[in-house]
């Protein structure tokens, strides 16, 4: 399984233009190969820097040293190139019709010394750590993602992702849970030519005197009026992103938590971004087997 996933990932890496930061010996492509190889095997970056841990046919180029990786992994451009690799892997997937957005908490110990981790709402309780935010479609294609400390509002991150992601060619609807019921998010989604539907935390309450986005008012009418017939149907559709996160945790991807060697926000972003690339390769491989 790992060999097949790596073949798909390497093919996408080779399609990525080779770029070098100024005075750099290794390209971003070579750095990302080490990050992805380490994430695929759930090992530290130092393990992936050793040539003895690579089969000869897996990667024939030179490998950066651990000190080089520690310095280069702080570059924000690597996350952008990781997204390009993901999009290249996902090119084999059909375009989806419905988008979904949600977040998954990755908790650390309450006594962690990571200065970038923060307290926020975890899985039903308060916790300390980071959160992965994803916008995906009903085909499992990731259109945008980000990783933030757990105290950052999900609706705010979703707005930033929606504004930055490429507009999907077919999707016109984004479905989210009550944590994304925000006029600012409705406005951001509408500016991209799409509609957001998210239920309110307390259905049936008044709207007050403030002005609300017309798409939010329409969503409230669809979800709450006439017996609220539409939300049960959309909630069934929304299980798609729950299955996406389940596949990210299992099925050979193994993003069950943050290993002890993945700390600080820039390392967490690259690690979880690499896991998203591996999961994309898994989905493509699954579709090929079932075709």
Q: What is the pLDDT of residue 224?
A: 80
At residue 101, the 3 state secondary structure works out as strand
Stretch 200-208: mean pLDDT: 80
Q: What is the pLDDT of residues 57-100, one digit of tens each?
A: 888 888 999 999 999 999 888 988 999 999 999 998 988 889 99
Is pLDDT at 215 greater than 90 in this prediction? yes
Q: What is the pLDDT of residue 61?
A: 82
At residue 239, the 3 state secondary structure works out as helix
Q: What is the pLDDT of residue 25?
A: 87
Q: What is the pLDDT of residue 39?
A: 94
Residue with the larger pLDDT of the pair 35 and 219: 35
Q: What is the pLDDT of residue 229?
A: 63
**Distant-in-sequence, close-in-space partners of 234: CB < 8 Å, separation ≥ 6:** 175, 197
| pLDDT band per the 50, 70, 90 thresholds, residue 124 | confident
Q: What is the pLDDT of residues 150-197, one digit of tens each?
A: 999 999 999 999 999 888 878 789 999 889 999 999 999 999 999 999
Stretch 122-129: mean pLDDT: 84
Residue with the larger pLDDT of the pair 278 and 230: 278
Alpha helix (H) residue ranges in the chain: 2-15, 28-40, 45-48, 66-72, 77-89, 154-164, 183-191, 214-224, 230-249, 265-290
| Measured distance CA(42)–CA(48) in Å, rounded | 10
| Measured distance CA(78)–CA(143) in Å, rounded | 17
């Amino acid at each position: 399984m790992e060999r097949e996933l790596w073949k798909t990932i390497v093919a996408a890496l080779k399609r990525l233009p080779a770029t070098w930061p100024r005075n750099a010996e290794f390209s971003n492509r070579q750095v990302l190969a080490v990050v992805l190889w380490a994430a695929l095997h759930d090992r530290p970056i130092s393990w992936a820097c050793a040539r003895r841990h690579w089969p000869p046919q897996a990667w024939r180029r030179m490998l950066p040293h651990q000190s080089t990786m520690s310095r280069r992994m702080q570059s924000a451009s690597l996350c952008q190139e990781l997204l390009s690799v993901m999009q290249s892997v996902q090119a084999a997937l059909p375009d989806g019709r419905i988008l979904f957005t949600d977040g998954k908490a990755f908790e650390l110990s309450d006594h962690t010394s990571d200065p970038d981790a923060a307290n926020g709402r975890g899985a039903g309780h308060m916790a300390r750590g980071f959160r992965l935010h994803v916008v995906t479609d009903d085909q499992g294609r990731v259109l945008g993602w980000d990783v933030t400390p757990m105290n950052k509002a999900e609706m705010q991150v979703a707005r930033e992702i929606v504004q930055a992601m490429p507009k999907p060619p077919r999707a016109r609807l984004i479905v989210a849970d009550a944590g994304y019921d925000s006029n600012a998010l409705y406005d951001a989604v509408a500016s991209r030519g799409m509609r957001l539907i998210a239920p309110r935390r307390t259905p049936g309450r008044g709207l007050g005197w403030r002005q609300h986005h017309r798409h939010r008012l329409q969503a409230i009418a669809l979800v709450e009026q006439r017996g609220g017939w539409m939300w049960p149907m959309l909630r069934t559709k929304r299980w798609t992103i729950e299955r996406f996160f389940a596949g990210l945790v299992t099925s050979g991807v193994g993003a069950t938590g943050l290993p002890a060697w993945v700390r600080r926000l820039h390392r967490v972003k690259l690690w979880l971004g690499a896991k998203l690339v591996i999961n994309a390769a898994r989905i493509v491989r699954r579709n090929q087997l079932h075709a």
